[in-house]
Amino acid sequence: MAYLCRDLNASEYRVVKQLRPSKLKENEMFIREIDLLKKLDHPGIPKLHDHFLHEQAAIYVMDYIEGENAEEKIFVSDSTFTENEALLLLSSLVDIIEFLHEQHVYHLDLRIPNIMLKNGNTYLIDFGLAVDAASEPETVQKEMRKQDYYDMGDVLLYLLYTTFNSKQKKALPWTEELSLSGETVHMLKKLLGLIQPYENADELRKDLLAAIKATSN
């Protein structure tokens, strides 16, 4: 459960999150999420302010991001994203993911409801499934990294489809339905593992910058 509360000392709103009583068996997982959030300090990730136990239930307090998530932006506000706008949003998301991976943290739940948008800024929320894999071998981390990249590809497709109007009754693959630059198609295929996937953020960012440049005119 999440509550919007006002911090009287800071005169700011905070989000207070706790497990539902019916999910107390997941308390250990919830505490792991708190431990993970403690080590994350990035402007695109809500800051953890406090945590404590109340009647054996873990509770934590974090920044409140007053904005819409990408799902609300698309399906409630009917917002659309051009190819270039979608790529620019992805670029800000890559910044956050690259930071996480440098900390050996993998989000593993990159979906449009977990991407907050406010005043042109992008925030990543909900670290309930995230993993601190610092003690895991590189082979395991590589698979987690690929999962985050795949999910970013899926997010990008969601954004790109906001301007798509189907004229055919039969659904076709995105490669046929969407009219995209060759640079964006190449990057998407690598993100989704349709061709040799990305090994690291440097490779991804190089292709992303090329796609942004190709769609800037």
For residue 17, the enclosing domain spans 2-63
On whether both 36 and 85 belong to a single domain, the answer is no
The tally of domains found in the chain comes to 2
Q: At what angle do helices 138-160 and 83-102 cross, to 10 degrees?
A: 160
Question: What's the predicted TM-score (pTM) here?
Answer: 0.91
Q: What pLDDT is stored for residue 96 in this prediction?
A: 97
Q: In the chain, where does DSSP find H-type helix?
A: 27-38, 70-75, 83-102, 138-160, 174-177, 182-191, 201-214
pLDDT band of 29, cuts 50, 70, 90: confident
Residue 42 sits in a domain whose CATH number is 3.30.200.20
pLDDT, one tens digit per residue, over 61-94 is 999 998 899 999 999 999 999 999 999 999 999 9
On whether both 177 and 142 belong to a single domain, the answer is yes
pLDDT band of 25, cuts 50, 70, 90: low
Residue at 115: amino acid letter: I
Give the percent of the chain with pLDDT over 90: 75
Average pLDDT on 102-108 reads: 96
pLDDT band of 20, cuts 50, 70, 90: low
- Mean pLDDT estimate for the chain: 92
Q: Active-site residue 207, yes or no?
A: no
Task: Return phi, psi of residue 195, to 5°.
Answer: -130, 180
On whether both 98 and 16 belong to a single domain, the answer is no
Residue 201 sits in a domain whose CATH number is 1.10.510.10
Nearest in space to 72 (alpha carbons), one of 111, 35, 45:
111
Q: What pLDDT is stored for residue 2 in this prediction?
A: 85
Which of 109, 126, 132, 151 is labelled catalytic? 109
